[in-house]
Amino acid sequence: MSLATFDDLTPTTAHAIEARHIALDPRIRQKQAKLEDEREARHAIVDAARVKLLALREELVTKQRRLADAIANAAPEWSHGESAPGGGAGAIVTTGGFPGRRVREQEVARLAEGLQHAEAAYQAAQARWASIARVVENCREWLAATPLNQVVVVPVPYSHVADPRADLAAMREQVGALAQEADAIARAPVPKAEALARLDAARARVAERVAERRARAIPAFFAPEATLDVGRFGVTDGFGTVGREIEQAIRDGAEERFLADVADWRKAIEAHPANGKAVASAERGKRLAAITRQRAALEQREEAIVLAAERDGLGLDRREDADPAIVVKTVLADA
């Protein structure tokens, strides 16, 4: 048995990088290649949409300019009477103007509407490409930073889903709800009893330090020539020449004021209104760990649905913030 070297965990040389790539499970290498292919395919769609958008924009600008020029250069419209042959009653004849204006304006309106659709399609293509690009980059970074013994394939059975889009939407709603719950727990205050216990612990620590400083100053009262300048207790000659000494003196004074006011601190803590549902520190980590496990199970099911839909010929977008470990390691059992 050999020990792992630094290069095994974070390869830096070309040899180490290639050796690590070959050491990966073939199913993970295949999964990584598929993700990169999907990213490139999305990028090609973006390029095609951009070319179409630029062409439509140029055509619209050209047609708008030509229409404006035609309107500006058209002769004024003039109506006049024309007699019929043989001296009979004639008809009103209109000359000049811009006879084809209505058709030309309809054409410009159609091109403007098409340009709006093209811009929306281009933005949607860009968003889809940016999403898969972020997923691929997150997976690459996770693989580069994770020891090989932790990159373990998790096979999931193939299961046809009647409406994978609806299932994904519901599942992602649950993932979002868990994320909000975790954030609320992480930001929740501790109970009032725990806050008071923290005050008592701080008072005990400060009292111990103050007592130590006082014990160091007591010998001054027993010296042959006692120095009873209380402002100089425990202070050596040249005090204040170093900034840290002044900072320490300010801190010492603050601690003594804290001890004197500790009863007021207790009253203020007891009167402080509760802001949100309190969570004890002993329970916070456990609850967050439970949510992490629930979210991991949901995300693995989410990836299984994406893979099953892909097997059925339906391409579904992964979440941009999907856990890269789950994306990389989850594969269909018969893949």
The 3-class secondary structure across 36-64, one letter per residue, is: HHHHHHHHHHHHHHHHHHHHHHHHHHHHH
Specify which of 86-100, 113-127, 248-262, 321-335 reaches the highest per-range mean pLDDT: 113-127
What are the residue boundaries of the structural domains of the chain, listed by start?
A: 1-75+97-152, 155-188+279-335, 196-277
Asked if residues 303 and 322 have their Cβ atoms less than 8 Å apart, the reply is yes
pLDDT of residue 208: 94
Contacts of 100 (CB under 8 A, 6+ apart): none
Calpha distance 95→69 (Å, rounded): 19
pLDDT band at 2 (very low <50, low <70, confident <90, very high): very low
Mean per-residue pLDDT over the chain, rounded: 86
The pLDDT of 44-62, averaged and rounded, is 96
pLDDT of residue 90: 57
Residue 231 has pLDDT above 70, yes or no: no
Residue 14 has pLDDT above 90, yes or no: no
> Which run of H or E residues covers position 199?
helix 192-217
Of 11, 24, 20, the closest CA to residue 331 belongs to: 24
Residue 17 has pLDDT above 60, yes or no: yes
Q: By mean pLDDT, which of 85-94, 287-296, 324-333 is the weakest? A: 85-94
What are the CA-CA distances from residue 251 to residues 209, 246, 294 (Å)? 11, 9, 46
The pLDDT of 282-290, averaged and rounded, is 96
Residue 330's SS3 state is strand
Global model pTM greater than 0.75: no
Asked if residues 81 and 93 have their Cβ atoms less than 8 Å apart, the reply is yes
Residue 104 has pLDDT above 80, yes or no: yes
Q: Higher pLDDT residue, 91 or 219?
A: 219
The pLDDT of 121-135, averaged and rounded, is 96
